[in-house]
Amino acid sequence: MTAALQRAELPAGGGLLRFLTCGSVDDGKSTLIGRLLLDTRSILADALQALERTSRRRGLEAVDLSLLTDGLQAEREQGITIDVAYRYFSTGTRKYIIADAPGHEQYTRNMVTAASTADLAIILVDARKGVLTQTLRHSYIAHRVGIGQLVVAVNKMDLVGWSRERFEAIVAEYRAFADGLGIEDVRFLPISALAGDGVVERGPNLGWYRGPTLLELLEAAPAANAGRRQRFRFPVQWVCRPHGVAHHDFRGFAGRVESGEIAAGDAVEVLPSGRRSRVKEIWLGEARLERAVSGQSVTLVLHDHVDVSRGDLLAGAGEGPPVSRTVEAVVCWLSERALSTARRYVVRHTTRETLGQFVEVASRVDLVALRQVEARTLGANDIGRVRLKLAHPIAADRYAENRATGAFIVVDEATNDTVGAGMIL
């Protein structure tokens, strides 16, 4: 690990970074993740020995690092990534969760699922093939679901003679596409996941490149919404009322602080009812806290006996999101059975569940031409703009402002299958 990396300080926004690797088939996503794990010494010795044995059995000269993420048997047989594979590693200064998204067009829905929780996306480009349709498609989706930071890693530079001219040609082509979409934060770097150059170590072959390595970029990347004040959002998961004599009068509201922070004495409002109270106590297990912050699962006790149930949202008084029974959203359809405006679906938003019906499909994204087209329904892997009417109101932020309270899933009422993932506009 480089000395610069060892000296790196935690970026603003916390030590955890969720990122996504995506791009076209065979551009080296799985090998890149394997290289990151190997060169940050995140692979146990017995796992590495198993990789070496498997690689030798297949007649390979070097260790096949892609085996670390191609965990499904079907993937290994076909040599492709079908599902989203998640891996975890730490550098000592930061923790990471990697989502390895499938490259095939028919698994676009899996890519959307992975992108929905990512803070940063690494778009892999094969230096020999350049920018492909799937490269643009995944970049469009990553931008659409609100990932603010894109890193275009031009991989397999070893197969183009480490050519600076080839790298700069790809940068120019991609930048023209990104400018057209209004993507502002995009970084470029040349790498060879197979040889390791430019990933964790600089390596000996990219002397003309003066920018950071991929890991140095990741170490410095801010987490989503870092530096921006997030309003307090607390979906209530459970009303805690112990039956023991010692806690006879205890009535707390358990859940996770999805964004912002809350302190004892702060004024809150309960949504959708709009009733107000103040926080009397904050409990983390049996420990009493003065303050709770985003990511903590706590129990809040209020001063007043206001009506609060599972599915309600606690927000700062006067700072709550709009409450509505009608939702305008972008939906990625996940089911082989097409979206129907004649059917009811179950809509799950934070901890609230209600019935809903699509009253309009306004448009669909043509993922080949990357433009909006007219549509009346959505099929599997389609992404479209819809209007949804709900049986009960929800308190929801715009997805661009808060990914926790701006997202929802759609469930088939009959099969209980998840059939859609939505982002509120």
Q: Has residue 346 got a pLDDT over 60?
A: yes
pLDDT: is 58 or 164 the higher one? 164
- pLDDT band at 1, cuts 50/70/90? very low
Look at the domain 233-316 and name its fold: Elongation Factor Tu (Ef-tu); domain 3 (2.40.30)
- pLDDT band at 73, cuts 50/70/90? very low
Look at the domain 323-424 and name its fold: Elongation Factor Tu (Ef-tu); domain 3 (2.40.30)
Q: What's residue 69's pLDDT?
A: 66
Q: Which residues, including other chains, have CB under 8 Å from residue 342's CB and lie 6 or more apart?
A: none
Mean pLDDT of the 339-343 span: 96
Mean pLDDT of the 85-111 span: 78
Q: What is the pLDDT of residues 275-294, one digit of tens each?
A: 999 999 999 988 999 999 98
In the three-class reduction of DSSP (H, G, I as helix; E, B as strand; rest coil), residue 246 is classed as helix
How far from 367 is each of 116, 238, 364, CA to CA, in Å? 18, 41, 9
Q: Has residue 222 got a pLDDT over 90?
A: no
Q: Percent of the chain, pLDDT > 90?
A: 54
Out of 73-77, 95-99, 115-119, 309-313, give the one with best mean pLDDT.
Answer: 309-313
**Is the domain defined by 16-220 classed in CATH 3.40.50.300?**
yes
Kindly list the domain boundaries of the chain, sorted by start residue: 16-220, 233-316, 323-424
Q: Where are the alpha helices (DSSP H) in 182-319?
A: 214-220
pLDDT: is 243 or 131 the higher one? 131
* Span of 88-102, 144-158, 300-314 with lowest mean pLDDT: 88-102
Q: Has residue 231 got a pLDDT over 90?
A: yes
Q: Per this entry, what is the length of the chain?
A: 425
Q: What is the pLDDT of residues 402-412, one digit of tens each?
A: 988 999 999 99
Q: What is the pLDDT of residues 360-387, one digit of tens each?
A: 999 998 877 778 899 999 998 888 999 9
Is 233-316's fold the same as 323-424's?
Answer: yes
Amino acid, res. 187: R
Query: Distance between CA atoms of 38 and 241, rounded to whole angstroms?
Result: 49
Q: Are strands 120-126 and 16-23 parallel, antiparallel or unpaired?
A: parallel
Q: How far apart are the first and last CA of the chain?
A: 42
For the chain, the average pLDDT equals: 86
Query: Distance between CA atoms of 365 and 141, rounded to whole angstroms?
Result: 10
| Residue whose pair of structure tokens reads 């023991």 in the numeric block | 244
With contact defined as beta carbons under 8 Å apart, do 302 and 268 qualify?
A: yes
